[in-house]
Each structure stands twice: as C-alpha cells, then as structure tokens.
Structure 1
Amino acid sequence: MMLLLTGCWDRLEIEERAIILGVAIDKAPASEIEKPRNVTFVGENVPETKAPALRITIQLAVPGRIPLGPSEGGGGSKGGEKPVWVVSGVGYTIDDAFNILQQEVAHRLFWGHLRVIVISDEVAKLGLTNINEYLRRNPEVRRTNWIAVSEGEAAEFMRVVPQLERVPILYLLGTMNDAVQMGKMPNAFAGTYWSASSSKGSDPYLPYVRMVRSGSFEIAGLAFFKSDRMVGKTDPLEIGAYMGIKNMQAGGYAVLVQIPGTDTSVMYQVTHRKSRIDVAIRNGKPVFNVKIHNEGNLVEKSNELVQLSEEVIAKIERSLTENGPVSYRNLIRKTQQKGSDIFGFGEYVRAKEPAYWNREIRTKKKWEEMYKEIDVNLQVTSSIRRVGSKTN
C-alpha cells in the first residue's frame, strides 16, 4: 500500500502550468533583434542558423477566468478581466524564442491544450522546415491541432477580440471546425500536413486566413506548398474544387448560374460530391482521368417570371456541366505552375504503377518537376436534386 500511495509524487497542479492555447509565428523585424538576449547561448556572437529570427506570440489561459459553460460565453470578459494573457518573444529558432518566453512566465509552458498555430505567409514562403522540426519532436503537441497561414501578421490572431467567444483562440478553432462540418473546408490538421510533406507523391496545404475587420476574419483559401515552402494560394471557391477532386463528399459551396437564354440567375448549392481518379501511362508519361459528379439544390431564383419547368432545369444542368470544369482546370493549372501536387496524383502513380515510379521517378523532387507537365482529363457532371417547396 505504501508503494501505491506514492503514485502522485510527481503531480503538477493545473494552476502551476502556463497553458498555451494558441501560437502565432512571425518573422522578427530588425528593430527587435538588434540586441540579442543570450538566454540560450554563451558569448557575444549568436550561433549561425539558416532560418530567420522569429517572433513567437502565445495566448496563455488565465486560471479561473476561462468560461466553463454557455452562461459564461459571449464577447468581452466578465468584470473587465481577460481570460487569456498574450505574451511574445524573439529568438533565432522557435525553441530559442520559447526559452526566452519561459524567462518571463513563472510557470512551465504546457503544450497539451494547444489548439491552433498561425504562421504568417512571410514565414511560410521562407519554409517551415525548422518549425516542423521542433513541433514534431515535441510530444505535447497533438497531431489534431490546426495549423493556418495568415495574410500579414499572425500575431493579430492572438490579440483579436471576437464578439461571439470570450476566448479568442476558441473562436478561431470553432470557425475551422464549423467550416469542415459545412463542407467548406477539408480537415487540415497538423498531422495531415506532416503526412503530406513526408510523402513522395503529394505536397501539403494549409488553410489561408485573413483579417477582414476588427474582431473578425475569413477563410480566404488554401495555402499550397512545394515540399515545406509556400508557393501559392487558392481562391475561396477553389476550396470546393479541391474537395471535389479529392472525393470529399460533403458539399458546402454555392455558385450563381445564369439560365441560358434568359436574364435570370439561380443559386446552385452543392450538397454532395463524388469523384474517381484513374491513371495510365501513355507515351512514357502518366495521364490522369478525373470524373466528378456534383449533386445539389436550387436555393434562390432572381426572377419570379421564369418558371422552373423540367426543360429549364435540364438547361441549368447542362450549363453547370459545360462550365463546371473551368474552376477545376484553373486550380490544377495554378498548382502545376508551382509544381505543388496537393491532390496526391503522385501517390496514385506509386500505388497503381509502382514499376514506372521506381524506374522513372523515385524521388519527390523528380515528381514535382514532372507534375508540371502531366495531362489531367476532367469530366464534371452536375445534377439538381431539389428546387424547394415553391414550384414556379
């Protein structure tokens, strides 16, 4: 019994931990690194690193002020007390910056409740090798955490004051999760990103977010990478095209379509998607055939005088089928120009044509160059499932 009673000898009270909820990573301006704080190195000269100096901004939970139920929700804070504390530090590596932050925080920094990591597009374009190196080695960082790329300064997302949530980072987290449930965005967890970056036949992507007004932001597309370096981003509607190619069946995007031969437009809401990708080797190069079918509803009509007869609905379906491949082709062309295979076409070659892969490609770098020249044949069809309770 005495041995069993020693089970809590190394316990650590939650109040004795500095719980990190969110992390923002920016490139440190020159004015903030002129006088280095040698917390992690000895001497006057800073050890050389290939990566630029980083400014890390973290959002810490304040014990006793985090809302525990819906009655404590809502914008602002109770009695003027903020539920989180935002603190930042500059270092020559990400761990160097966190060691400097630890000097300012009394309790040990704890990553177990981290939910979102926001990285500025400036840092993402320089490459995330060193950042991934640290995060993947840290056992407290969950693979289900969200990583997002921000337009401009990432630290703004740690200081934002949302109107619908007392804890800012939980508002950002809820936006991401709700977008997945509504079919507006694929799951882009840290583990998904790291898996794609380690794969030989695919490249990773991350959500691209943008501040639009005080206390609010929007999902502005997907940031796509070549290996670990951001090389471009999609438009918001192209997220739906990406999900269609990847056979992510839940649909959430709507498009405005003009009825042929009229001055009336209808809003077509995609509810389900289904796709299939086939690969074949022709003339020594892989050729992909992608078949996509969208099913959706008509949710709005701009002119009451036009009747939604079977003939009109058939015209709308033909228009959707004829114009549908445009956004898919534009997205594929955009990624091919940068050599970023976020669709994982290379993995289809590895799986279906392993002999060709081992003979002609073998490496991720070789595939990224070949991806720029491959042919992708698209066949997109659309059908209307429902038009609502109003028949005219």
Structure 2
Amino acid sequence: MPLLAIAFMATILTGCWDRLEIEERAIILGVAIDKAPASEIEKPRNITFVGENVPKTDAPALRITMQIAVPGRIPLGPSDAGGGGKAGEKPVWVVSAVGHTIDDAFNIAQQEVAHRLFWGHLRVIVISKDVAEKGLANINEYLRRNPEVRRTSWMVISEGEAGELMRVVPQLERVPILYILSTMDHAVQMGKLPNAFAGVYWTASSSKGTDPYLPYIRMVRSGSFEVAGLAFFKSDRMVGKTEPLEIGAYMGIKNIQAGGYAVLVQIPGTDTSVMYQVTHRKSRIDVAIRNGKPEINVKIHNEGNLLEKSNENIQITPEIIARIEKQLTENGPSGYGKLVRKTQQKGSDIFGFGEHVRAKEPAYWDKEIRTKEKWEEMYKKVDVKLEITYSVRRVGGKTT
C-alpha cells in the first residue's frame, strides 16, 4: 500500500517537468509587417522549401520586423531601480526577415534567433497601408491560430513603412513599442479612440453585418507619430480612412459615451469663436423596412463644455449658449453624414447597421440578405437618417 501511494504521488508532483526559463525565450513585444520590395528578396536559402524554384503564391513577399525583449534591460519603473540594464544599453533587439508568406517570414526569422519565439507578451501589431490594401486574410489566419497571441493586443495601420516604428526611439519611453501601446491606451481613456484590439477586429471581420476598422497612424517627426483616423475595411481589405475628427463622429454613432474631441464654433451674429468639447454621448439606432429596403434612423445627443472664447468682451449668457447649441445642432449632421457616405461609397459598414437589421428584422434578413457580401452591396444604397442634438453643460468662469 505505501508503494502504491508513492507511485500515485509521483505522477502528480511533476509540475516543473516542462519548465522554460524566461531567459530561454525570445519574447516578442511588437511586430511590423511591410510589403518587401524585389531588391530585398534574397536568393533561396532552402530554409522553408527545397530546390532553387520558390513555390508561387498570389500574395506579395512580406518583410517582418520584430522587437524582441533583451532580458535584464527592460526598465522596471521610472527610476529603473533594480533592473533595466546599464545606461546606453538597448532594451530591445530589432530583427527583420523576408518571406513569401507570413509564416515563411517568421520561420526564417526563427532561424536567426537562438531561442524559441514567444508571443505571449506581444502588445502591438503594426501593418503598413500597402499590405492592408492587398488584404489581411492570410495574416489574420496566422495570428488567430496562434494560441499565444492575446486578443487584447493592438492592431494598427501605418501610413508609411511599418518597420520604422520598431526602430524609432521616443523621448518619453525607452521601449518604442510600449510608447505606441501607451499612446493607444491613453487615447481610449481620453475619449479620442475606441478600443480596436485584435480581437475586436477579428470579431467584426467574422460578423455578417459589420465590417472591421483599425487605428490609422502616421509618423510626424523623428520618434513620434499621431493617430490620423480610422482605417476601414471591406471584408479583409482596407478600402479607406477617416479624418481624425471623424473618429468622434464614429464613436457618437456607436454610442461610445466618453467624449474627447473639441471643435471651434463661431457664435452666430458675432466674430467670436468658442471651443466646444464633447464630454458625453448617447445614441440610439432604430431600423424600419420601407419599400422593401432597410431604413436606419440614428439619434445622437452630445453634451459638452465651453473651454475657451476668442473675444473676452463677449459674455457667455444663457441666450448666447442657446445660439451656440442651435449652431452646433444645425452643423452637426453634415459631419456625421459625410462619414456615413464615405463608408457607404466603399461598402464598408463599420457602424454595424447590418447587425441591427439582422437582430430587429430577422425575417427580412433571412429572406433578402443572408450573407455579408450581399449586405455590403446593399449598404451602399441604405437610407441612413441622422438626428444630432447638442447641449452645453458647463462654461468656464473667472473671478474679478
């Protein structure tokens, strides 16, 4: 009996048999994906195929650029106490590789890295505009099948070369990819960007009544970049982008309540402008079937504050506030309508109107639409009616 108990205990006390030290992993923090020019396609090295002739694919060759954490050099805090390496030592190692598919490129990169590539700490995936316009089906399939890739990793589209974002050294952060991550996270906290994680993108791309979107960024100076809008997709291909201020309109339609964008508004009948910032949003989407076609009715109410005025001699009275609210309400629908028309021209329903039709008119959907492709074509002709209202909640004050 004691021997049997010992044998049983031996089978459950093996918790460390497959341990892998953190120093024995090549921890990927960020990945950039670009289209590789013909000059970068090397002579076959027989790493992922045999022979001199490269198997043909219908996709362009890709260049991947990875930021790999160097053990002991990642800063642990503002003062870097207890870690972070010596001054001047780089906390990340940038590795590039070119392959004829995304999997091919990572296999070639693995050949140059001693330790196994580990995706568990991947935070940001940057994809160039050129690659996104060709389609992300193969890239998404590769990432979604990898169980180590978190669905809360950010995916962004870069206007220029994505690999450059892996090499810049920002002033506010020693690790470039962490600067991109904090920029995205803080933009969400300030109400300037919706959550656009990889999981959100993949969910929308699999939905029958919604098309995906991703943040669109561009370099503005060495070591810095800006959020320049949202890249919107039709299925897996990027077909257009919004302006930065249109992000706020998108968030309003989607009932994302936190507001962060501010606009200059001229007070009617004066030469004075005021800065109005939306702080709260509330929207409602209704669906009706008229003449055999869906009709979308969107009602949005924005609350905000007056932050600044250009003329100190103008007093902000209740009558002035009413005029400002009227001016905002009259001009508001044009900006929202421009964004909706822009997406309709490309057949990209990033607002999820199709899901509202599918949920509220299921019989009509099953009879007339049924597929994502059919909805994308129908969306171009759908009548979207917008009712936008504004109110001023607070104004600045001063003592005399």
2:98 is matched with which residue?
90
Displacement, 1:34?
Answer: 4.8
Correspondence 1:292 to 2:268: no
Q: Which residue of 1 aligns with 2:233?
A: 225
- 1:247 maps to what in 2? 255
Out of 121, 125, 141, the residue aligned to residue 117 of structure 1 is 125
**Matched letter for residue 164 of structure 1:** L
Structure-to-structure mapping, 1:39-58, within 5 angstroms: 39-58=47-66
Match of 1:148 among 141, 146, 156: 156
Q: Which residue of 2 aligns with 1:130?
A: 138
- Aligned-residue offset at 1:122: 0.2
Do 1:118 and 1:154's aligned partners in 2 also have CA atoms closer than 8 Å? yes
Question: In the alignment, is the contact (CA less than 8 A) between 1:51 and 1:130 conserved in 2?
Answer: no
Cα displacement (A) at 1:149: 0.2
- What residue number does 2:243 align with? 235
The residue that corresponds to 2:21 in the other structure is 13
Alignment-mate amino acid for residue 41 of structure 1: F
Confirm whether residue 336 of structure 1 aligns to residue 336 of structure 2: no
The letter for the 2-side match of 1:83 is P
Unaligned ranges ≥5, structure 1: none
RMSD of aligned Cα (Å): 1.3
- Classify 1:295/1:77 alpha carbon distance in 2 versus 1 (closer, same or farther; 3 Å): farther
Residue in 1 that maps onto 2:192: 184
Q: Distance in 2 between matches of 1:145 and 1:37?
A: 33
The alpha-carbon deviation at position 5 of structure 1 amounts to: 3.7
User: Per-residue deviation at 1:77?
Assistant: 8.2
Q: Does 1:274 align with 2:315?
A: no
- Say yes or no: does 1:67 pair with 2:78: no
| Cα offsets for 1:317-347 (capped at 9, x unmatched) | 0000000111100000000000000000000
Q: Deviations over 1:84-138 (max 9, x none)?
A: 0001000011111011101111100000000000000000000000001100100
Question: 2:300 is aligned with what amino acid?
Answer: I
Q: Which 4+ residue blocks in structure 1 deviate beyond 3 angstroms?
A: 1-5
Mapping for residues 303-314 of structure 1, pairs under 5 Å: 303-314=311-322
Aligned residues: 390
How many angstroms does 1:4 deviate by? 3.9
Give the secondary structure class of the aligned counterpart of 2:72: coil
Match of 1:159 among 154, 163, 167: 167
> Aligned match of 1:324 in 317, 324, 332?
332
Sequence identity, in percent? 83
- Give CA-to-partner distance per residue, 1:42-65, whole Å, 9 cap, x none: 111111222211000000000000
Aligned residue for 1:79, secondary structure, equals coil
TM-score, reference length from structure 1: 0.98
CA–CA distance in 1 between the matches of 2:128 and 2:212? 16
The separation in 2 between residues aligned to 1:53 and 1:339, in whole angstroms, is 28
CA distance in 2, matches of 1:34, 1:338: 37
Per-residue CA distance 1:288-336 (angstroms, 9 max, x = gap):
1100000000000000011111111100000000001111000000000
One-letter amino acid of the counterpart of residue 302, structure 2: N
On the 8 A contact 2:75/2:85 being kept in 1, the answer is: no
**Aligned residue number for residue 346 of structure 1:** 354
Report the Cα distance in structure 1 between the residues aligned to 2:266 and 2:87, rounded to whole angstroms.
53
Q: Pick from 389, 393, 398 the counterpart of residue 385 of structure 1.
A: 393
Determine if contact 1:144/1:189 at 8 Å carries over to the other structure. Answer: yes
Partner amino acid, structure 2, of 1:142: R
Q: Tell me, what secondary structure is at the counterpart of 1:330?
A: helix
Shift in alpha-carbon separation, 1:58–1:242, aligned structure 2, 3 A: same
Q: Give per-residue Cα distances to partners, 1:21-72, cap 9 Å, x unaligned.
A: 0000000110011523321111111112222110000000000000111212
**1:264 matched to 2:272:** yes
CA distance in 1 between counterparts of 2:48 and 2:226 reads 38
In 2, Cα distance between the equivalents of 1:152 and 1:36? 28
Specify the SS of the correspondent of 1:256.
Answer: strand
Q: Secondary structure at the match of 1:160?
A: coil
Q: Which amino acid aligns with 1:259?
A: I
Is residue 31 from structure 1 mapped to residue 25 from structure 2 by the alignment?
no
Going from structure 1 to structure 2, the CA distance change for 1:391 and 1:200 (only over 3 Å counts) comes to farther
* Counterpart among 200, 203, 223 of residue 195 in structure 1: 203
Shift of 1:388: 2.0
Once the two structures are overlaid, the 10-residue window that deviates more, 38-47 or 104-113, is 38-47
AA partner of residue 280 (structure 2): H
Unaligned runs of 5+ in 2: 1-8
Is the Cα contact below 8 Å between 1:308 and 1:391 reproduced in 2?
A: no
CA distance in 1, matches of 2:201, 2:276: 31
Question: Could you give the per-residue CA deviations for residues 254-294 of structure 1, whole angstroms, max 9, x where no partner exists?
Answer: 00000000000000010000000000000010001100000
Give distance in 1, aligned partners of 2:331 and 2:351: 21
Question: 2:6 corresponds to which residue?
Answer: none
Q: Aligned to 1:172, which of 172, 180, 183? A: 180
SS in 1 for 2:132: helix
Deviations 1:187-208 (A, max 9, x none): 0000100000001111000000
Counterpart residue type for residue 344 of structure 2 = Q
State the SS of the aligned residue for 1:307: coil
| SS, match of residue 325 in structure 2 | helix
Distance in 2 (alpha carbons) for counterparts of 1:306 and 1:37: 73
Classify the secondary structure of the residue corresponding to 1:80.
coil
Q: Secondary structure at the match of 1:337?
A: helix
- Residue 308 of structure 2 contacts residue 396 of structure 2 at CA under 8 Å; is this kept in 1? no
SS of the residue aligned with 2:20?
coil
Conserved in 1, the CA contact under 8 Å of 2:32 and 2:64? yes
Q: 2:310 aligns with which of 284, 292, 302?
A: 302
Q: Is the 8 A contact 1:77 1:166 kept in 2?
A: no
Q: Is the 8 A contact 1:209 1:217 kept in 2?
A: yes
**How many angstroms apart in 2 are the aligned matches of 1:77 and 1:176?**
27
Alignment partner for residue 371 of structure 1, among 379, 385, 388? 379
